[in-house]
A and B are shown apart, each in its own frame.
Chain A
Amino acid sequence: MSAAHEASLHPDEKYKAGKMGQKVVTGGLVGFVVLTALSWLLSGSAAGHTADGTGHSRFFYGYLIGWTFILSIALGALLYVLIHHLVKAKWSTSTRRVAEILAGTFPIIAIGGLVIIIPLLAGRDDIYWWANKGFDHAEHVSASKHTWLSPAFFAVRYVIYFAAWIGLARYFTVRSRKQDETGDLALSKQMQFFSAPAVIIFALTICYAAFDFLMTLAPQWWSTIYGVNYFGGAMIAGYASIALLSMILQRTGRLQRSITTEHYHDLGKMVFAFTFFWAYTAFSQFMLIWYANVAEETVFYNYRMFGEGWKWVSIVLTFGQWLIPFVLLMSRWSKRILPLFAVFCVWQLCFHWLDLYWNVMPNYHWGAEAHGAAHLVTGPLTGPVGENNVNFSPVDITTWFALIALFIAGIGRGLKGNLIPVKDPNLGASVAHENY
């Protein structure tokens, strides 16, 4: 039977990674170290938050954006694998290994995240205001937040999230690679069986991770749809990255015949669908908060709609992440002409980063006020709206690139063995897949 599966691949098809992975890992790690060091130097010598947007906190904020960016790609790719097994999909078989490679980056992302977690545990408040001493005395902060937002408990949740994601990714990748050797159909059954509980674990962890890593930046504020909105962005990033990595691998002469325009077309449909879904969740959050006009909630949009510069970022994001790709990706050709589709994938990834930037960076400016002799930090989204500038810094970009380099190193770890599940029973159907 296994011979028949391999026969579904063209005899000239190159599907072995060879030794490319090692070079990618080295390149990625060197890039990460150099760019991180550069970002640290660029962020200046001042510690903590400064009004002009410099200081080490800026480095950490940029780092958090880049880190949640690569995390979202890995999460999107992980769900691709889970859904593939859950719905017993066929078309997505030939790009599934690419998704597994992207989802295999969780260990390296977890290590990268220590740059955020360790300073937090050491008592530093470079990112999260709730780690600041002022938080204990802040008004309008309930007991529940003091419980939920303690560095130790936060770190415990961090471990739980990554244990779940690394565990899920490993479960599916190990079995998928094992099937390459044995062709055992029971492995497909195992993966299908476990995919349903896996999706539940995924849904819970991505939602609460978004609450923890991003929403708690402004601990006064909350929104129940926040996790779903991050999920929408993660799916755009995941599908776009699967398409881009497939294209890159094809440029090395591999997988020429097994990943076809039909697969890119379908990946493009998913990018389109989640572009719409992301906009739907973003609109739901915005419209309901704007309409009800409750001060505790509108504060989030107040700084993003009326802050100097931020209003433009909001407008650019609306057009860039939603309206323009929504209209242009509707066409069949923008998904089937590959150079054009590649542009849209890069475009959506850039705007996904901008979305995270828009979510994170307005929290950078912490207000402060005098309480008697003490000078207390009143946290993000306090103080005059007009003074909350974008204050764009090169560090914002260099940290992003640093994290992308780290992610590339993570991808390199997975570039070994077969780049396609060669003995998957559905591979033949996937290679022959046609949109009609």
Chain B
Amino acid sequence: MPKAWFIALGVALVLASIGAYCIYHVVMTGIGAWGNNNSVGWAWDITNFVWWIGIGHAGTLISAILYLMRQQWRTSINRAAEAMTIFAVMCAGIFPIIHTGRPWLAWWMIPHPNDMQMWPQFRSPLMWDVFAISTYATTSILFWYMGLVPDLATFRDRSKTKLKQAIYGVLALGWRGSARQWHRYERAYLILAALSTPLVLSVHSVVSFDFATSLNPGWHTTIFPPYFVAGAIFSGFAMVMTLMIPARYLFGLKHIIKAEHIEAMCKVTLATGMMVGFAYSVEFFIAWYSGSEYEQFTFINRSTGPFWWSWLSMVTCNVIVPQFFWFKKCRTNPWIIIVLCLLINVGMWFERFVIIATSLSRQFLPSSWSYYWPTKYDVGVFIGTMGLFLTLFLLFIRFLPAVAISEVKNTLPEAHAGKDH
């Protein structure tokens, strides 16, 4: 086991502990501990929430849509990407739950018969989020776990200690690899892939509804759903590469996660990045074309107002940075890829920040205009979710099959004797 893994886990746990302390403080004190104010009522917390949900999207795209399109290169990365989806959704969920102010009552959002005369407000897009994201989490976990079953059986069979055999044996659900089991497995996998495909579109579309159903200039625009989906996949792929490139070196996976797979991911990142840039330009154009002075003000304010620096970071990282992926050299050099992907993740965080904080700080009523500045607890909780994500990812990569063994075997040339595909 590489020493680097222990060091990384140590760092991740420290970050997670910082987050745990900050969450404790925020819950005990109230969300006034954050920098949110009356004008900017959604700020870092919702920015982080949307960012984390977006990070998870690469996993679903890779596991579902690329599967339906028979893109066999996906098999080297799908397992890890699916795991990232689940961990990212867990991190995302923390923010709105704390934001409710009384997280111990968050279960009230689930519609259930009760004698409190309590019922969720189904007309609120925030409730749609609850259903969209819980469906997403459930389906992703099912898909991920089902894919794991044959590989867990391999772990069970290769384990040397009784304890490991028992644990992996229970997790493998009695998998024997019979033809009948494989037949059912393949059918179930296809059905789950088909069910997950609309989820790739729906989850971030519903997240975009949180904004787009409002009357707020800069929020209320019809291109938001596909634009959010493209942005989510963009940031998700950047995150997958950020983590998988070091992982393939540390765990000796270079012959499985090949350079051309990384290159393909760079191309997907470039394509989705261009879609995001395209959506920015359409928004700008329509703000001008519409003649609505509020829309026009919002877009001018974003680029030249008090939060100009966040707008500039967003455009630089999301529109300019991915352009480097046009060059093969940038798609094949791991250091360049990691730097570009980190910048893209920063850019996508700023995109949500621009949408949320900038728009809220300059609404219709100038008397309520304000500025937003995060407190150390905003930063702490965010760092904590980073730590949680990394901890879970490191544990996953250590104790579970990080590459879909059975699927990779299927794509090897030996599996197709006499066939050219």
Interface residues of A (CB under 8 A from B): 140-145, 148, 196, 200, 203-204, 207, 211, 222-228, 276, 280-281, 284-285, 287-289, 291-292, 294, 296, 429, 436
Further pairs besides A222-B290, A284-B205, A289-B222: 9, Cβ < 8 Å:
A144-B291, A145-B291, A211-B289, A225-B225, A292-B220, A294-B215, A296-B292, A429-B421, A436-B70
Q: List 5 A-B contacts (CB under 8 A).
A: A148-B289, A207-B282, A222-B286, A224-B283, A227-B282
Q: Could you tell me the distance in whole angstroms from the C-beta of B374 to the nearest C-beta in chain A?
A: 29
Is there an interface contact between B223 and A225, defined as CB atoms closer than 8 Å? Answer: yes
Number of interface residues of B (CB under 8 A): 30
Point out the residues of chain A lying under 8 angstroms from B288, CB to CB: 144
Chain A, Cβ-Cβ closest to B326: A196
Complex interface residues of chain B between 249 and 304 (CB less than 8 A to chain A)? 274, 278-279, 282-283, 286, 288-292
Q: Could you tell me the distance in whole angstroms from the C-beta of A425 to the nearest C-beta in chain B?
A: 13
A227 to B222, CA, bound (A): 11
A224 to B224, CA, bound (A): 8
Is there an interface contact between A294 and B222, defined as CB atoms closer than 8 Å? Answer: no
Is there an interface contact between B222 and A285, defined as CB atoms closer than 8 Å? Answer: yes
Chain B, Cβ-Cβ closest to A208: B285
Q: Could you tell me the distance in whole angstroms from the C-beta of A259 to the nearest C-beta in chain B?
A: 19
Chain B interface SS verdict (over half): helix
Is there an interface contact between B198 and A288, defined as CB atoms closer than 8 Å? Answer: no
A148 to B290, CA, bound (A): 11
The answer to whether A224 and B282 touch (CB under 8 A), given A144-B289, A148-B289, A288-B213, is yes
Is there an interface contact between A284 and B222, defined as CB atoms closer than 8 Å? Answer: yes
A288 to B215, CA, bound (A): 10
Q: Could you tell me the distance in whole angstroms from the C-beta of A98 to the nearest C-beta in chain B?
A: 21
Interface residues of B (CB under 8 A from A): 70, 198, 201, 205, 209, 212-215, 220-226, 274, 278-279, 282-283, 286, 288-292, 326, 420-421
Is there an interface contact between B291 and A225, defined as CB atoms closer than 8 Å? Answer: no
Point out the residues of chain A lying under 8 angstroms from B278, CB to CB: 203-204, 207
Is there an interface contact between B222 and A145, defined as CB atoms closer than 8 Å? Answer: no
Q: Could you tell me the distance in whole angstroms from the C-beta of A129 to the nearest C-beta in chain B?
A: 15
A291 to B326, CA, bound (A): 40
Is there an interface contact between A228 and B291, defined as CB atoms closer than 8 Å? Answer: no
A204 to B209, CA, bound (A): 25
A225 to B70, CA, bound (A): 30
Is there an interface contact between A288 and B224, defined as CB atoms closer than 8 Å? Answer: yes
Is there an interface contact between A228 and B226, defined as CB atoms closer than 8 Å? Answer: yes
Is there an interface contact between A143 and B291, defined as CB atoms closer than 8 Å? Answer: yes
Point out the residues of chain A lying under 8 angstroms from B222, CB to CB: 223-226, 284-285, 288-289
Is there an interface contact between B289 and A145, defined as CB atoms closer than 8 Å? Answer: yes
A291 to B123, CA, bound (A): 10
Is there an interface contact between A141 and B215, defined as CB atoms closer than 8 Å? Answer: no
